[in-house]
Amino acid sequence: MAPMPAEAKPAGSLSVDVAALRLAIEDGIATFGPRYPKGPQYFQQLAELEEKRSAAGGGTPEQKQKIEVALKSLWRRQCSRHAAAEVRFASEQEEP
């Protein structure tokens, strides 16, 4: 097996694409409205994490890691809420 290049990162260390996360939250709000009630809260959390990420630019690796973990957690919560809203939306559209 060939050695991994020094610049390669393990999958668990990848950074969250903040622009994609923002678009996913916007889509959830636009598509599901009140069935996606945490959307505004997710926007607030994302803004706070972006600010912390920017401020930690020169910080320690541990500080940067903590922010990335929080962003990944927000991404997972957003995805699960989006999926739950899709299920509720689909069940509302079915004929009784």
pLDDT at 86: 65
Say if 31 falls within a structural domain.
no
Domain annotation covers residue 15: no
Confidence of residue 94 (pLDDT cuts 50, 70, 90): low
Residue 53 in domain: yes
- pLDDT confidence of 45, banded at 50, 70, 90? very high
Categorize the per-residue pLDDT at 23 as very low, low, confident or very high, splitting at 50, 70 and 90: very high
Instruction: Give the global pTM.
Output: 0.69
58-to-9, 52, 61, 91 alpha-carbon distances in Å: 20, 11, 9, 48
pLDDT value, residue 8: 35
Q: Can you tell me the mean pLDDT for 14-32?
A: 88
Residue 76 has which token pair?
Answer: 């997972």
Domain that holds residue 86: 38-90
Domain count, the chain: 1
